[in-house]
Amino acid sequence: MTELKALCMKCRNAENKPTMQVMKNLKVEEKNGRFSAKGQCSVCGGNQFKFMSKVDAEKMK
């Protein structure tokens, strides 16, 4: 399975901006032909969400 990174709203850098973190327990969902991934931040365990292209979604299977 490919590693996916998404913005984590809880893991912020020195400028107080969200940072990209590896998503774990990710689930790919399809809704109305649009793909998204839901999972948890591997650093803080906070919820993460990311829209994906169909091509990227296929890679996660």
Our finding on whether 10 is near Zn ion (CB under 5 A) is yes
Q: Are 8 and 52 in contact (CB under 8 A)?
A: no
Instruction: Rule CB under 5 A: say whether 20 interacts with Zn ion.
Output: no
47 binds Zn ion (CB under 5 A): no
Contact between residue 10 and residue 46 where contact means Cβ atoms under 8 Å apart: yes
Residue 26 found at the interface with Zn ion (CB under 5 A): no
Q: Does 11 bind Zn ion (CB under 5 A)?
A: yes
Strands 47-52 and 18-31 come out as unpaired
Rounded to a whole number of angstroms, the minimum distance from the CB of residue 35 to Zn ion is 22
